Amino acid sequence: MMTITATAEENPFSRPFDTPHGTAPFNEIKITHYEPAFGKAMAEHQAEIDRITTNTVAPTFDNTIAAMEHSGEMLNRVSSVFFNLLGSESNDEMMEISQRLSPKLSEHSNNINLNEALFTRVKAVYDARHTSGLTPEQIRLTEKYYEGFENSGATLSAEGKEKYRALSMELSKATLNFGQNNLRETNAYEMLLTNEADLAGLPASVTDAAAAKAKAKGREGWLIDLSAPSYIGFMKYSTRRDLRQKLYMAYNTKGVSGGDYDNRELVRQIVNLRLEIANLLGYASYSDYVLKNRMAKNATGVFGLLDRLATAFGLVARDEVRSVAAFATEMEGKQVDLQPWDWSFYADKLKDDRYGVNDEMTRPYFELEHVKRGVFGLATSLYGLQFVPNPNIQVYHPEVEAFDVLDEEGKFLSVLYTDFHPRDGKRSGAWMSSFKSQYIQDGIDSRPHITIVMNFTRPTATKPALLTFDEVETFLHEFGHALHGMLSRSTYETLSGTSVYRDFVELPSHIMENWLTEKEYLDRFAFHYETGEKMPDTLLQKIIDASNYNAGYLTLRQLSFGYLDMAWHSLTEPYSGDVRDFEQEAMARVQLLPVVPDACMSTSFGHIFSGGYAAGYYSYKWAEVMDADAFSLFKENGIFDRATADSFRRNILERGNTEEPIELYKRFRGREASVEALLKRSGVN
């Protein structure tokens, strides 16, 4: 294995990594390296900025915009490693470091964004952008830098700048605390079962995993926690309604039960700080501030989509809930007052009764290694990509695998890291990120290092990792984001890969999910893990037939999150009331199941309170309209049609943020997206 050579005094972040493809030398990095590296990196970055501002030559694209674009190399190096690992391989010491770093990084960012001399130079290039011979991509980059300064208070008075500086630092700390509270409370909860009667209804896949989890922690019995495979499996299969309720309440009262991890005050603090920043910059609400640089453009555009989908799917969703409630009553032989902790259980039983298919029937055909070949193989069919394991690339955990991604001619395109299973220190959910983004400098195309992180079912002592249908779908989703990063061909890192509008970034991920209900695709990798036999045609057809099961319910559930996000970020006055009351009112229009007074989603809604989706959660539905419309072209031309795939790659995946997304989409599709394809795919049209 190639490793960097460093003396005892050297910090591995102090210079470019001497490793395969310049990947992070995880074996060499110690926790004690981070803070000194950040300190040195910020100082170096500030010195580079000072050289730009003190340049006596008139501002040009090269000496101002490009110089800024290529500055902060060491800071990018240490930040990408630290913050990726803070989500996927964290511990108390990492969290404490992040608390100390947060105000320093905010101050460093503000020192740049509020630098009057720097903004003066940027504005000069911006004002002359159409008359100074710049390429379209250079114009786009200049505009993004100018908008970034404008959005960060550069046009404010001296007093306003100081106010912005204080508010942004406070907001950074609050969002960090929110996420860490959520992770700690999630990791702290355990439901240890010691009586076999408590396992009633659970399949072997759930009990084996629970036993392995207990054993790993030196406990006797079966351990259920709030990680996705554990929580979802128990809620779907357990016949013990009392335990389902107990687990549901643990999951849905995170951050709202008092104690050290209560996030209610942080929710109020975050939305009020965002509102104050928006007001300071001249906007009535935070959503107004955010949406001006989105495809939706404003709150009217967002609510127009949410309301249209709520109307289109509302009757269907309520019929679905009535069907599940009636089935529950019939199944139990008595009236069942359907509660949220009952939904997964009875909905799954009705699906099995109606279509003859459930996760335990399909799991044996979704063994992780087969699924990896299927997912990677789709990229091979569409784009000619090859995925070659590279054991010489260091990884941050033994379960992580690294691949060289090559094009059809064997030319290197990207590094891809895969991290599939839950563990302490990894936050919940699934995501794609990058340790290094793509860019071109001095004629050299510097290729990206992409990571996809999931929380999938673990292997047990007797079985390999057998995934649920939803887990396979999640894999495809995150892999779509990865393709967006890996195939990027932009000149500038700021515009490359997934650095696009939030309501456009989900298109490459959503579209990948469509193949999973295509028989021609499933036939390629859905083999029984023991016998090697293909999934029977009858089972394949059942999966396809059931693909729209409860589509209305799932749509309204997603819309409820979008309405909640927009409610918090459309406030025009500071909020000091009860978080749960606010949430219940925001979601009322699309509420399908009884409200549980003590439950609260906002206090664990990391996407909007500690992630990047504030005033942007609607993006999932916005992108769903586009992905259904885009995939309809594949359906017309053939789901593996290379010409269609090449067009999607050339016009969407490679282009990043180099043009307005609507123009990129129209170039691929020949027109704007229509909602009709989504309605047709969902069976409501």
Choose the final residue of a domain: 99, 124, 151: 151
Query: In 10 A of CB 285, how many CB atoms?
Result: 20
Give exposure, 437-466, as e/b (b: 16+ Cβ within 10 Å): bbbeeeeeeebbbbbbbbbbbbbbeebebb
Residues taking part in catalysis:
478
pLDDT in tens, 232-289: 999 999 999 999 999 999 999 999 999 999 999 999 999 999 999 999 999 999 999 9
- Rounded CA separation 99/105 (Å): 10
Choose the final residue of a domain: 237, 252, 267: 252
Any residues with CB less than 8 A from the CB of 266 and at least 6 apart, and which?
Answer: 174, 177, 178, 181, 609
Dmax (CA) for the chain in angstroms is: 85
- Rounded CA separation 231/206 (Å): 10
Q: Let me know whether 77 and 145 are in one domain.
A: yes
Any residues with CB less than 8 A from the CB of 655 and at least 6 apart, and which?
Answer: 489, 490, 664
For residues 404, 408, 410, 414, the Cα torsion angle rounded to the nearest 10 degrees is -30
Q: Is 237 part of a structural domain of the chain? A: yes
- Rounded CA separation 326/578 (Å): 35
Q: Let me know whether 198 and 143 are in one domain.
A: no
- What pLDDT score does 1 carry? 34
Any residues with CB less than 8 A from the CB of 150 and at least 6 apart, and which?
Answer: none
Q: Is 405 part of a structural domain of the chain? A: no
For the chain, which residues score pLDDT lower than 50? 1-8
Choose the final residue of a domain: 102, 133, 151: 151
- Rounded CA separation 482/452 (Å): 7
Domain that holds residue 243: 189-252
Contact of 113 with 154, CB cutoff 8 Å? yes
Decide: residue 641, CB within 10 A, 0-12 exposed, 13-18 middle, 19+ buried.
middle
- Rounded CA separation 563/444 (Å): 45
Q: Report CA 71 to chain centroid distance, whole Å.
A: 27
Q: Report CA 139 to chain centroid distance, whole Å.
A: 29
Q: Report CA 525 to chain centroid distance, whole Å.
A: 26
Q: Let me know whether 122 and 196 are in one domain.
A: no
Q: Is 59 part of a structural domain of the chain? A: yes
Q: Which residue has the tokens 């310049």?
A: 22
Domain count, the chain: 2
Strand-pair category, 449-453 with 412-419: parallel
Any residues with CB less than 8 A from the CB of 240 and at least 6 apart, and which?
Answer: 198, 200, 201
Q: Is 141 part of a structural domain of the chain? A: yes
- Percent of the chain scored above 70 by pLDDT? 99
List helix spans (H) across 532-638: 537-545, 551-569, 579-586, 606-609, 619-637
Q: Is 298 part of a structural domain of the chain? A: no
Cα–Cα distances (Å) from 597 to 53, 580, 584, 592, 600, in that order, read: 56, 8, 9, 15, 8
Q: Is 577 part of a structural domain of the chain? A: no
- Cα atoms found within 13 Å of the Cα of residue 314, Cβ hemisphere only: 12
Q: Let me know whether 55 and 108 are in one domain.
A: yes
Q: Is 352 part of a structural domain of the chain? A: no
Q: Let me know whether 143 and 202 are in one domain.
A: no
Q: Let me know whether 194 and 99 are in one domain.
A: no
- What pLDDT score does 384 carry? 98
Query: In 10 A of CB 132, how many CB atoms?
Result: 14
For the residues of 194-245, what is the DSSP string, one character each? -SGGGGTT--HHHHHHHHHHHHHTT-SSEEE-SSHHHHHHHHHH---HHHHH
What is the value of pTM for the model shown?
0.93
- Rounded CA separation 496/438 (Å): 6
Q: Let me know whether 47 and 127 are in one domain.
A: yes
Q: Let me know whether 19 and 128 are in one domain.
A: yes
One-letter amino acid identity for 385? L
- Rounded CA separation 160/623 (Å): 36
Q: Let me know whether 34 and 147 are in one domain.
A: yes
- Rounded CA separation 649/664 (Å): 11
- Rounded CA separation 375/378 (Å): 5
Q: Let me know whether 144 and 28 are in one domain.
A: yes
CA-wise closest residue to 678 among 625, 619, 639: 625
Residue length of the chain? 685
- Rounded CA separation 534/88 (Å): 34
Residue 404: both structure tokens together = 């060289």
Any residues with CB less than 8 A from the CB of 481 and at least 6 apart, and which?
Answer: 431, 432, 452, 498, 505, 508, 509
Q: Tell me the CATH number at 75.
A: 1.20.1050.40
Q: Is 177 part of a structural domain of the chain? A: no
Q: Let me know whether 51 and 126 are in one domain.
A: yes
Q: Let me know whether 50 and 103 are in one domain.
A: yes
pLDDT in tens, 594-613: 999 999 999 999 999 999 99
